[in-house]
Structure 1
Amino acid sequence: MNPLYEFIQRNRVIALVEKAQRSDSCKLSLDDFDLSSFPDVLLNYQGLHLQSLNIGHNNIRDLPKDVPSLKNLQHLSLEYNNLEKFPEVLQNLTQLITLNISHNPIKDLTPDIGSLVSLEILWCNSCCLTRLPRSIGNLVKLETFGARHNKITRLPDEICNLTNLRWFTMEDNALQNLPSNFHKLQLLKHLNLNKNLFSHIPFKISEIRSLKYLHLQNNQFFVLPESTMFAMPHAKINLQNNPLQVPANLQANLVYANVVITGKENEVVDMYEGFESDSSSEDWDNSVDSSDLNYSDTESENENDHEEIMSHAPMLSKFLIT
């Protein structure tokens, strides 16, 4: 990295941290700073009361052992970095409510995701996961869980302990079935199983009466799962882009009003019309690959900070030692 650029970036980080300390801000965004390591300045300042830290889109490979000193931290986004394993120090941040580790080459969530017992939102999309650990069942407060674009072949039975789960996406994995007690997730509302290897819907899934949206596009359904479909009039089921042998009289979805069978993959077939929506959620049909934490206030502040700091770049460069 160019020494001048590295110097400026480092001072931009220091300036933002100092401002957060002066203003007693609880939010900080250090997105896209080309950081190769977690900034020590975050750990050295006394009186920094961060609750939300977004430090994604950098080149961080590991977290320092002093990260647990951020005792007030509740929301942490580490997406788009170079973490090759789940940072062991995170297991000491038991107060975390939101964690986003998407788009890192993490192969396993141990040690130990199961320690983060306060988590309500967990995103680990586009990692290199082949499995979920059994300790995932410890996260009993979890409401939103996304593990899209991985290589997971089965879900552990302990996933059924997550009885507060409402939003669950396993899109683009290699699942063929669900645990036998999956129906215990009685608060589940959105279930996204697109782009897996399902050829049938487990009948017991119809017992989840809160389920409103079941996404099964691009799977291996050759035959319509009629018994399950009839048992789920409360849910919209999307079966587009499956190799279905559909009778001609069903092509227009005339018989199964709650099932989407035909249409283009990118075409929203008004699945949500007439169904209650949750104003606190995003439209999952149009959602991005990983959930962005809401740092809108912080980002707007930081844009002004960046302009102010960059305006002093020539002045700062005189301190550079080459």
Structure 2
Amino acid sequence: MYELQQFQLHHQNNQMTMNMDHMMMKKRTTKKLTEEERVHVVDLNGMSLDSLPPKLSIDLGIICTLDLSNNNLQNIPESLTARLLNLEKLDVHSNRLRSLPNSIGCLSKLKLLNVSANFIQSLPATIENCRALEELNVNFNKLSKLPDTIGFELIRLKKLAVNSNKLVFLPSSTSHLMALKVLDARLNCLRALPENLENLINLETLNVSQNFQYLESLPYSIGLLLSLVELDISYNNIKTLPNSIGCLKKLQKLSVEGNPLSSPPPEVVEQGLHVVKEYMCNKMNSSENITSKKGWWIGKLVKCGTFNGHMKSGKRLEHKGFSMLQYQPMNGLASPGFMGKLSPFRLFSPFSPRRSFG
């Protein structure tokens, strides 16, 4: 009986090894690619793998896409990652990873990294060497912080998704991600956003919703996000929106539900986005004294052509008002169930009824 069990176990191990070898040699070719341009894909998705061997028989240098998602992996061997020199896409979501190998910094051609739904508490500093990275997804982990200089190095990053973690702050270097188009930091513990956002000239979507009682304000420099189309700050503890929001000429959707807002007042919010923008602009225009604390960003608004103003008498900033666009009313409200589908926490929010418009 014992010999039979040992034979069966040996047979199962051999079968799994054969399956892995078969999958590791898998190649996919799209219709647009010639035989010489064939992209090498290794697909080990959903194979119930508990570990990976540190060395494999195939040439890792030919792999462009590696999918290890939906397994039970607890670590990725350093020696394995270091040999994936031509890797462009790495997907290890839905595993049991607690960290990433330091050798991930060797992946100089990596464009997409998906490590969502793991147990990662911090990213290795070497990830900053992945300077070709365009999309980084670390949703649903246990991150308490990001590498301090991440924004200085990942200059091609277009999408940063860090939702459902334990982030208290985003590093100030985040404001230097000039190529960034999407920043998703909802469902964290954010106390504040970086003050200097003016370098995020391509940012189109900013979602910092559901930081609940932690996030109480937004920086004035948010008015310098000149490409911003969608802003979601719902379910936070924000009482006052910065007047500079009136400068966001491309903004089409603003979600503010679940905040104890006093400015703009509820009767303004209920009238829609174009009314909120006009209210913010008028509020700034009616301000007779501009403090030195706010003068820095107003000067930048002038420089960017968002604000009609000019300097007089050296330090004092006089202004004529905003150069207002003819904002068109947006028909219909944002779907009231849209964000509700993302998190059950919304069902228990102590704040005011949902308000979303765009």
> What TM-score comes out, normalization by structure 2 length?
0.66
With over 3 angstroms needed to count, the CA separation of the structure-2 counterparts of 1:39 and 1:286, relative to structure 1, is: farther
Match of 1:193 in 2: 208
For the 8 Å contact 2:54–2:80, the answer to whether it is kept is no
Q: Which residue, 229, 232, 242 being the options, matches 1:212?
A: 229
Match of 1:221 in 2: 238
Match of 1:126 in 2: 140
Quote the Cα distance in structure 2 between the aligned partners of 1:116 and 1:182.
23
Match of 2:308 in 1: none
Match of 1:114 in 2: 128
- Equivalent runs, 1:111-260 vs 2, <5 Å: 111-137=125-151, 138-196=153-211, 197-223=214-240, 225=241, 227-235=243-251, 236-245=253-262, 246-248=265-267, 250-253=269-272, 255-256=275-276
Q: For residue 337 of structure 2, what is the amino acid of its counterpart?
A: N
- Equivalent runs, 1:53-72 vs 2, <5 Å: 53-64=66-77, 65-72=79-86
Q: For residue 161 of structure 2, what is the amino acid of its counterpart?
A: G
For the 8 Å contact 1:240–1:263, the answer to whether it is kept is no
Q: For residue 145 of structure 1, what is the amino acid of its counterpart?
A: L
Q: What secondary structure sits across from 1:266 in the alignment?
A: coil
For the 8 Å contact 1:240–1:264, the answer to whether it is kept is no
Q: What secondary structure sits across from 1:108 in the alignment?
A: coil
Q: Which residue, 60, 65, 87 being the options, matches 1:52?
A: 65
Q: For residue 20 of structure 1, what is the amino acid of its counterpart?
A: K
Larger Rg over CA atoms: 2
For the 8 Å contact 1:106–1:127, the answer to whether it is kept is yes
Match of 1:85 in 2: 99
What's the RMSD between the two structures over aligned residues? Answer: 3.2
Quote the Cα distance in structure 2 between the aligned partners of 1:153 and 1:237.
23
Quote the Cα distance in structure 1 between the aligned partners of 2:178 and 2:335.
34
Q: Once the two structures are superposed, what CA deviation does each residue of 1:250-287 show, in whole Å capped at 9, x if it has no partner?
A: 43438337899x8775248xxxxxxxxxxxxxxxx989
Quote the Cα distance in structure 2 between the aligned partners of 1:169 and 1:26.
31
Query: Which consecutive unaligned segments of at least 5 residues does structure 1 have?
Result: 269-284, 289-322
Q: Which residue, 1, 17, 38 being the options, matches 2:24?
A: 17
Structure 1 residue 133: deviation in Å? Answer: 1.1
Structure 1 residue 54: deviation in Å? Answer: 1.1
With over 3 angstroms needed to count, the CA separation of the structure-2 counterparts of 1:109 and 1:259, relative to structure 1, is: farther
Aligned residues: 269
Match of 1:266 in 2: 337
Quote the Cα distance in structure 2 between the aligned partners of 1:249 and 1:84.
47
Residue identity over aligned pairs, in percent, reads 25
With over 3 angstroms needed to count, the CA separation of the structure-2 counterparts of 1:287 and 1:168, relative to structure 1, is: farther
Q: What secondary structure sits across from 1:26 in the alignment?
A: strand
Quote the Cα distance in structure 2 between the aligned partners of 1:146 and 1:167.
8
Structure 1 residue 16: deviation in Å? Answer: 2.0
Query: Which consecutive unaligned segments of at least 5 residues does structure 2 have?
Result: 1-7, 30-34, 278-328, 344-358
* Higher RCO structure (Cα 8 Å, ≥6 apart): 1
Q: What secondary structure sits across from 2:98 in the alignment?
A: coil
For the 8 Å contact 2:209–2:235, the answer to whether it is kept is yes
For the 8 Å contact 1:148–1:172, the answer to whether it is kept is yes
With over 3 angstroms needed to count, the CA separation of the structure-2 counterparts of 1:47 and 1:227, relative to structure 1, is: closer
Question: Is 46-55 or 108-117 further displaced after alignment?
Answer: 46-55
